Chain A
């Protein structure tokens, strides 16, 4: 276990707090002054050995516990749910407003959760690793899991909350019904490794409180993708029960510990149970005596973690979110399909949104690695699958990789070349800056524009521009129109803000563009944040930038020289010389279809269907058999016999006399072997009709 050296005083202080004891109580018990206890805790003095033994006994710890600073075990028996009482003013929240900002589907969840993990990357020289695990539980395992969750304590609350007429209530009652009827529960676990983890104190400012205790607190800065603190709401919105368990390994110790910090949070709507009114939110943890029994996070033992299916794969810092009862994508169909569909949805969403974050260069590791795995009762259904950007987005990934490897070119000459140019974004000054010091003006940011020919086999739509900033998450995809005829299909990528570099201008652009993103982070447009933060002209600068990026693509894609064609284009339309498209209903007889084979004596035996246009007079045509040649009109062969099957008669000289008014006719023919220019087996045969000249 990773453990920092900790002073005795800090340890003692925490033990008292966790037991809900005051310094005065300890002083009285040990028969010392309060000042002495205070001196121990602040580290000004240390107690003598016999006092330490008394302290350990008083705290119910084994002898020597204070030496190795071992903890009061957070007994599993103490764990319980704390439900927040209803507001005294009678206010009721019938759902989490933040959760309504998003659609509760897996695509959005994967995007928001992964964006959060990217923002919390700890060691910036290594990728943050995100693992999605779908796990379906049934039978005994489900029973044990629910037991560890203290489901019994929750059940009445669920029933009470499901009663309400809100959307959340309906989702909840649907979830409860499915759990009852199907006897199965799908868990979605989202782990990140090499991330900060839920650090910080229980209630004060910090990552832990931002995620567990607060709404709309983003606790983010810099290149962070998220900035609204809305993304985490998707975790709860993805659960039919509004229930998410969290297990975090911290990057910086809290209370001297890093591993197995656990807490659960439940988001129910307002409800009333046994005459008591509840606000909705509830926390699973150990009671905090100093906060009137509120549940606080606990340091769990390994067995509890395992029973909650929250065991982490390594000691690296990061957080595991366990979404209990994730919404089923397909309500119908068998469960095998369900897991497969959800698995594919997750892979697709990760590939679509984060392909660029997952691309590595020679000397730059990817920012992100993502995997998806599906289990049923701990047995593998779909093995862990690493999302490979080059498989899902080959040409775009190639473009970003070439940029990272400085392998871009000035001119595209091969189908895998990547051209790099720049697009200027003039970042206007912030309002405060302008007031603060005069002269703080506009800075020009050079965004990187990458263009590469689209892969032939790629299923992406070509001629599109994908835009992103610092964390290389896809912000938007734009269609590039007005392209010259014959321009090869391409894919373009715009790296803006700190995706382009690390200069001051890049950082300024990063902030500017983040302000221009709506909560979904899927556009750069006029937002209230933008107009509130930046000086006049911000909207115009953004509009110019949006236009400049498309122009930049067109400049590269357009063939370098175009001959000015000043003649009116309408005349060009009238003088088009390409071959005519085949006439679907020609005004002359045509062979509609022909079948046949070479017989054992080497003759072609064919049957041909003729399409006849409407005409009063009978059509008279001669059937022709030719042996195809690579060029030219083919070599003629003769018929040994021609027979009419329907709609025609055969004249004495072998012509076809089609019945007047008939629209189709069928004839059969056998070739004269002696007239074959080559063996029938070795040539392509062509059957045709020509106008029959009157043979004199």
Chain B
């Protein structure tokens, strides 16, 4: 998909910098703000009852381009948005010196749930029309209310637990399994069973001799996980009022976007999503869809490479025994 603006827009980069974050007027450690990850973590173990977070921001716009361009009445605003709550708050910024704009963004805790996005927009008058969007931050910030480290949460949470213990009652039915995948909530979790004899020792082993078995096992776990994630994600796809499927956002959308190109390679992501939703709602069982899902999960889990390595190692050790 390509976009067209019916008026001239900024070509140069617009960028937002977060200079400080305060929870109820008490600053948080600067290491909770990561410019490279474009993430702010607002969760501090000992301060869970805060009400407002104030972010001091500075936006940079390509000043030379703005000065020489056709835009007038240029203003700059920071926009806070959360998909889950659909809250959208706009904060106008004030010009400082040389092409930068500063201001404060106030985040009220009771209006947000988990992760809000913060982006900057440049607005001006072009061709006699006021308030036109002429530039925006290509890479919005994530303000994570629940994270304690400012890293983008793009992974499956992995924990070792004892499946048979009383604390993990929900895992009791799976107590004989080596692992289990939980896809409920904002972050999928992979539980690894501590009680499964030898599993922890094998995965934690640093011995070179164990490496090939380890890799094969990891691929196996990963393939299971991806399959589960995909099924769960597809189920969560909603359709809009015209019957078009909507991307579900979060890890579910990322899962689909990672796997769909391997499931239906000759479809664009939008077309592929539509196709899958259609096939699943038909009565024919989805055709070869499930085969394709397993293929895509194997690609993500690098099964081919890791199984190949294992087989070669096995052959090697067999030869050694023959001698």
A-to-B contact residues, CB < 8 Å: 411-417, 453, 456, 485-489, 557-563, 565-568, 570-572, 574-580, 583, 586-591, 593-598, 604, 606, 608, 613, 615, 628, 632-633, 680-691
- CB contact under 8 A between A456 and B4, given known A486-B36, A580-B258: no
Q: Which residue of A lies closest to B272 (CB)?
A: A588
A608 to B225, CA, bound (A): 41
Would B265 and A587 count as touching, CB distance under 8 A? yes
Within B134-173, the residues touching A (CB, 8 Å) are: 148-152, 154-156, 158-160
Interchain nearest-CB distance for B139 vs A (Å): 12
- CB contact under 8 A between A559 and B32, given known A456-B17, A680-B6: yes
11 new A-B contacts, CB < 8 A, other than A562-B149, A587-B261, are A411-B30, A414-B20, A559-B32, A559-B150, A565-B158, A571-B221, A574-B218, A604-B6, A608-B2, A685-B4, A691-B268
For chain B, give the interface size range. 35 or more
The 9 A-B residue pairs whose C-beta atoms are closest, nearest first, are: A413-B27, A578-B154, A567-B158, A412-B30, A574-B222, A486-B34, A414-B20, A575-B156, A587-B265
Would A681 and B129 count as touching, CB distance under 8 A? yes
20 example contacts (A-B, Cβ-Cβ < 8 A) are as follows: A413-B21, A456-B35, A487-B34, A557-B31, A559-B31, A559-B148, A567-B192, A568-B203, A570-B218, A571-B203, A577-B155, A578-B154, A586-B261, A615-B266, A681-B127, A686-B1, A687-B4, A688-B2, A691-B267, A691-B275
Residues of A within 8 A of B148 (CB): 559, 561, 563
Q: Which residue of B lies closest to A411 (CB)?
A: B29
Which of A416, A488, A632, A681 interacts with B6 by CB under 8 Å?
A681
A686 to B301, CA, bound (A): 35
Within B282-319, the residues touching A (CB, 8 Å) are: 300-302
Would A683 and B152 count as touching, CB distance under 8 A? no
Residues of A within 8 A of B268 (CB): 586, 588-590, 688-691
Residues of B within 8 A of A575 (CB): 155-156, 158, 190, 222, 225-226
Stretch at the interface among B62-70, B106-114, B249-257: B249-257
Decide if B11 is an interface residue (CB 8 Å cutoff).
Answer: no
Would B151 and A571 count as touching, CB distance under 8 A? no
Interchain nearest-CB distance for B104 vs A (Å): 13
Interchain nearest-CB distance for A396 vs B (Å): 17
Would B218 and A571 count as touching, CB distance under 8 A? yes
Would A568 and B27 count as touching, CB distance under 8 A? no
Interchain nearest-CB distance for B206 vs A (Å): 10
Would A566 and B160 count as touching, CB distance under 8 A? yes
A682 to B244, CA, bound (A): 25
Would B6 and A685 count as touching, CB distance under 8 A? yes
Residues of A within 8 A of B120 (CB): none
Residues of A within 8 A of B4 (CB): 594-596, 604, 606, 684-687
Would A577 and B156 count as touching, CB distance under 8 A? yes
A565 to B149, CA, bound (A): 13
A687 to B21, CA, bound (A): 40
Would B149 and A559 count as touching, CB distance under 8 A? yes
Interchain nearest-CB distance for A28 vs B (Å): 81
Would A413 and B267 count as touching, CB distance under 8 A? no
Q: Which residue of A lies closest to B300 (CB)?
A: A574
Within B1-50, the residues touching A (CB, 8 Å) are: 1-7, 17, 19-22, 27-37, 39, 45
Would B1 and A687 count as touching, CB distance under 8 A? yes
- Most B C-beta atoms less than 10 A away, residue of A413, A486, A594, A633: A486
Residues of A within 8 A of B32 (CB): 559
Interchain nearest-CB distance for A232 vs B (Å): 43
Would A560 and B29 count as touching, CB distance under 8 A? yes
- CB contact under 8 A between A576 and B155, given known A413-B30, A562-B149, A594-B2: yes
- CB contact under 8 A between A574 and B219, given known A489-B36, A613-B266, A684-B5: yes
Decide if B227 is an interface residue (CB 8 Å cutoff).
Answer: no
Decide if B240 is an interface residue (CB 8 Å cutoff).
Answer: yes
Would B3 and A684 count as touching, CB distance under 8 A? yes
- CB contact under 8 A between A583 and B261, given known A575-B225, A591-B1: yes
Interchain nearest-CB distance for A673 vs B (Å): 13
- CB contact under 8 A between A598 and B6, given known A567-B158, A567-B159: yes
Interchain nearest-CB distance for B202 vs A (Å): 10
Residues of A within 8 A of B96 (CB): none
Decide if B214 is an interface residue (CB 8 Å cutoff).
Answer: yes
A563 to B149, CA, bound (A): 9
Would A488 and B159 count as touching, CB distance under 8 A? no
Decide if B177 is an interface residue (CB 8 Å cutoff).
Answer: no
- CB contact under 8 A between A415 and B219, given known A579-B257, A588-B265: no
Would A576 and B154 count as touching, CB distance under 8 A? yes
Residues of A within 8 A of B127 (CB): 681
Residues of B within 8 A of A456 (CB): 17, 35
Would B27 and A580 count as touching, CB distance under 8 A? no
Would A633 and B244 count as touching, CB distance under 8 A? yes
Would A574 and B31 count as touching, CB distance under 8 A? no
Interchain nearest-CB distance for B193 vs A (Å): 12
Interchain nearest-CB distance for A638 vs B (Å): 14
Would B155 and A572 count as touching, CB distance under 8 A? yes
Interchain nearest-CB distance for B10 vs A (Å): 14
Would A597 and B30 count as touching, CB distance under 8 A? no
Q: Which residue of B lies closest to A487 (CB)?
A: B31
Residues of A within 8 A of B20 (CB): 413-415
A120 to B88, CA, bound (A): 63
- CB contact under 8 A between A486 and B244, given known A560-B31, A685-B6: no
- Most A C-beta atoms less than 10 A away, residue of B4, B45, B214, B221: B4
Interchain nearest-CB distance for B238 vs A (Å): 12
A661 to B192, CA, bound (A): 50
- CB contact under 8 A between A686 and B2, given known A572-B155, A576-B154, A576-B155: yes
Would B240 and A683 count as touching, CB distance under 8 A? no
Residues of A within 8 A of B270 (CB): 688, 690
Interchain nearest-CB distance for B44 vs A (Å): 9
Would B39 and A687 count as touching, CB distance under 8 A? no
A682 to B7, CA, bound (A): 9
Residues of A within 8 A of B219 (CB): 574
Q: Which residue of B lies closest to A608 (CB)?
A: B2
Residues of B within 8 A of A595 (CB): 4
Residues of B within 8 A of A574 (CB): 218-219, 221-222, 300-302
